[in-house]
Structure 1
């Protein structure tokens, strides 16, 4: 004798799968609503960085295609958020001239910035015998000769 299928045996398994799918979708919906509410309440904004001052202590091009420079910069950061503080784990500064990096990175110490707070840093940025491209060296020499760029010795 052969067994006949009555059609009721697979419904329990399909019902479980459907409930599991609804449960997962409900959980994802709750997580998305929570994220949306947190964003709507806190309204996080990016901090604003401003280069306030730069003092050039040295800016010398030497042969063959090396640049030595020394700067002190004053940089401020403003946190515009009303309810959120920002922890800066790592901040690096470096100087560029005509889109070429002319100093190695200078790290600022890790710091916390409270809400609506302003932090100010005044690090020294130094580059000693930084290799530069020959075209860069030529344009720098012509700018120094014309008085566009000052050279400190």
Structure 2
């Protein structure tokens, strides 16, 4: 049986970018990065929690891990190594920040195309009720859309929910 996909966004779930600027969340380390397209005068500040890599690797026994981030393949260069993750496939968005159907997040239509009928869990900070409705109407396989607070990042209950959902398939 094919494993369900675990589609992983970086900014929000792994990098709680919206936390107070001067207060790095507990357990997170600060990393300075200059991915392609970053136009800031200084490198981008990214907060990452090393325990998230271990948690994701534990889920790799039941999921196929996939980057679903605007970092695209650069997540393998900048994010994965700092979390101890192997190189992962990634969703290569045909268009970023473009028009989306019926009030959905721009990624949603492409997530369904990438999943191609497979069960999937998707962790992102921009998931809305419109996305849930769209997926329910347009994706016949099981799907878990897990919205993560961009001020907090992934937490123990999130990892538990992902494990429980996959175990119930």
TM-score range, shorter chain: under 0.3
The structure, 1 or 2, with the larger RCO (C-alpha pairs under 8 Å, 6+ apart) is: 2
Bigger Cα Rg:
1
Give the TM-score taking structure 2 as reference length: 0.19
Give the TM-score taking structure 1 as reference length: 0.20
